[in-house]
Structure 1
């Protein structure tokens, strides 16, 4: 019953995910249009991608971030951690219980991006870090590419038991996609506040979702009336 409910939730959110994708692409294109401001961020994306596919895939750092994020999400939800294992290509976290958030957190929480941002913010409390903004943008771009490439690889190059545990592949993929799009939009807003308008994007997604479901409901009602 729970799995069926989650499938229904995923189907209900599918139009929202598609519209969020469109709005996030619009935001990304606006940022890329500000080339002088975004060049370091773009360079970070490109450099990580080149290293990953050409030299080293960063599997152990990803496994570390993945399992630690599982563990932190579990602690945040009040779960008790029994054991944590981190290997070269795989790992696990044993806990007394879990939920969909705990299971899926590593797939949409960019751990190294958050860590880099915290270092930058904390350092700014003691010294002026504004001269290093371009370095910070490069680092964030590097780790955003790390997060998205590793997440895609983990989801689609292996049969992930996490997806089934969270409530099924359809539910998990829709939630991960939607969450990652929101995370990317928020990161871009934080980096380029004058270029990105999350309020406008949110309004567009909400209005579009309502319109799509209005069309679907009207179509179903019309078919039902005609059939009767």
Structure 2
């Protein structure tokens, strides 16, 4: 009971972080010079997934597979053992010997398919020339898949989210999604500095909390 109350309060206190990381991300992404010639391919990937999702079908099985795989890998990394792994287009489940808030929430902020795509690209590109436009298109597609499907499943209040507190989970998932995507972009685009992103996030957070404190107590 008390843990849920603490997480609820923590969720409220962390809401300004959502605004801070969003502003920091936007401020840094608009300055990425590499996007000048390839932004259209990224946006085509975003648009392609949205069209697929809205007009044709929602790739639930693919999303659930990645979702449960992240649960399993995160638990394993933390010393847990995988007892069972089930996936279908109706849903999935993983039984492990180790679970906590990180294990429960990790699939919601780790864009697994975009990460796999980047890993494969960098390994293959080391030896072979790859069409960069296709890669950027697929990055846009896979990131949008992750974000849109995450929103879809979060709307139905998944048990993973309820265990950690719904408000707390939403805030943490949002902030960590921005952070993870920022880190991925720092690998893709040399002019996107993760160091500057974190510095800006800190400054914006500090300023927002300072304004709130002044309004409340002074």
User: Do they fold alike, i.e. is TM over 0.5?
Assistant: yes
Deviations 1:34-67 (A, max 9, x none): 4422222111111111111111211110111111
2:50·2:144 contact (CA, 8 Å) conserved in 1? Answer: yes
Give distance in 2, aligned partners of 1:207 and 1:43: 33
1:197 aligns with 2:198: no
Q: What's 2:18 paired with?
A: 17
Give distance in 2, aligned partners of 1:168 and 1:200: 31
Q: What's 1:73 paired with?
A: 74
Q: What's 2:148 paired with?
A: 149
Unaligned runs of 5+ in 2: none
1:60 aligns with 2:57: no
Distance change (3 Å), C-alpha of 1:68 and 1:161: same
Give distance in 1, aligned partners of 2:161 and 2:88: 21
Distance change (3 Å), C-alpha of 1:9 and 1:200: same
60-69 or 6-15, which deviates more: 6-15
For residues 197-216 of structure 1, the aligned pairs below 5 Å read: 197-216=193-212
Q: Highest Rg: 1 or 2? A: 1
Give distance in 2, aligned partners of 1:184 and 1:32: 17
Deviations 1:187-214 (A, max 9, x none): 22222222x2333332222122222223
For residues 164-179 of structure 1, the aligned pairs below 5 Å read: 164-165=162-163, 167-179=164-176
Distance change (3 Å), C-alpha of 1:46 and 1:28: farther
Unaligned runs of 5+ in 1: 223-228
For residues 36-185 of structure 1, the aligned pairs below 5 Å read: 36-125=37-126, 127-129=127-129, 131-156=130-155, 158-165=156-163, 167-185=164-182
Q: Which of 182, 185, 188 is matched with 1:188 structurally?
A: 185
Give distance in 1, aligned partners of 2:27 and 2:128: 33
Distance change (3 Å), C-alpha of 1:219 and 1:47: closer
Give distance in 1, aligned partners of 2:12 and 2:34: 34
Cα deviation for residue 27 of structure 1 reads 3.6
Deviations 1:118-148 (A, max 9, x none): 11122133x233x422111111111011111
Give distance in 2, aligned partners of 1:23 and 1:215: 18
17-26 or 111-120, which deviates more: 17-26
Structure 1 SS opposite 2:131: helix
Give distance in 2, aligned partners of 1:95 and 1:44: 35
Q: What's 1:225 paired with?
A: none
Structure 2 SS opposite 1:84: strand
RMSD: 2.0
Deviations 1:149-193 (A, max 9, x none): 11111111x23111111x200110000000111122222222222
